[in-house]
Amino acid sequence: MNSISQETPKEQAQTENPPAKVARLRLDRSLADQISFNEAEQLAHWTGLRRLKLDPGTLERHYLFVDGDDSDIVARFDFLRTMVGGAMLEHGILRLGVCGPTAGCGASFVAANLALSMARRPSTRVMLADFDLRNPALARLFGATAPGPLGDVLAGNRPAIEHLRLVTDNLAVMLNSQPVQHSAELLQEPDTGLALREIRDHYGPTVELYDLPPLLGNDQTLSFLPELDGLLLVADGTVTTAADLREAERLFEGRTRLVGLVLNRGEIRPPLHVTIGNLLGRLFGRRKKV
């Protein structure tokens, strides 16, 4: 469906709903923090979301197993779920970003499979959002059509209920149909944080996963770090260098907590092995002090 909503005549828009903030929970920022829903209401909102139409063939080609079929990939991501979930529980992490130091490390693949694995736990409600706004990939991975530009939701021009879709009973996704040219600027706007808080209050996800752009080469992910509780870094053993990891660590150090490092492909070359060892040593060293 190409049309998202019907146009409102200019004269009618001036006398009825504000055209730029239609159907948003916030009509006034001073009231936004006062709006809250109990667990039963959040669950009702969640279960009322529309289902995403999936293409099983595309899912299989992209190694996404919605039903948790018995496979080596599912087992690996279930293990990652346990490790990452433990770190998130230990440090009170709700909002987790997933990214690589550079492009092509497989962060979207890891984020999607981790979300599917987490959502297989009956007590969870997982939200997975495509926040690589310039190069959205999750719709392609799921073989689905995004309901519209995610930038409209973050800017407050479209309600989240029109955009969130259920993949499974416990997994909702925010896909993106259109690249956002000034993505870093949008992510730094107060509207983005407010939109996410409204989604959090309305639907009560127990885990929020954000598929993010690479840390190096642009400021998109850096712009969004203040909204995150932690970061999962994805390295590619065939392309990621020790220098990439050191520079990535320098950028997120002091801005958010590293909860883990995933080696997506390839063998660990000697220089990279040393850097990964040092990085994980500092990571687990910090945990022991907590």
Beta bridge partners of 168: 171
d(CA 69, CA 46): 25
- Give the mean pLDDT of the chain: 83
Residue 31 resides in a domain: no
Which tens digit of pLDDT belongs to each residue from 184-203?
999 999 999 999 999 999 99
Percentages helix, strand, coil for the chain, rounded to the nearest 5? 45, 15, 40
Residue 21 resides in a domain: no
Coil, strand or helix at 93: coil
d(CA 95, CA 193): 12
d(CA 110, CA 177): 20
Give CA angle at 67 (47, 259), nearest 5°.
Answer: 80
Beta bridge partners of 209: 96, 128
Residue 8 resides in a domain: no
**Is the pTM value of this prediction over 0.95?**
no
| Residue of higher predicted confidence among 37 and 133 | 133
Contact 143, 55 (CB under 8 A): yes
Full DSSP string of 248-284: HHHHHTTTSEEEEEEE-SS---HHHHHHHHHHHHHHH
Query: Among 84-93, 213-222, 247-256, 261-270, whose mean pLDDT is lowest?
Result: 261-270
Q: How is the beta sheet containing 171-174 ordered, strand by strand?
A: 165-168, 171-174, 126-130, 207-211, 95-99, 230-235, 257-263
Residue 43 resides in a domain: no
E-only strand ranges, the chain: 95-99, 126-130, 165-168, 171-174, 207-211, 230-235, 257-263
Contact 88, 118 (CB under 8 A): no
Residue 164 resides in a domain: yes
CATH number at residue 108: 3.40.50.300
Count of domains observed in the chain: 1
Residue 20 resides in a domain: no
Residue 219 resides in a domain: yes
Domain ranges, residue 117 = 51-289
Residue 218 resides in a domain: yes
Which tens digit of pLDDT belongs to each residue from 140-160?
999 998 988 999 999 989 988
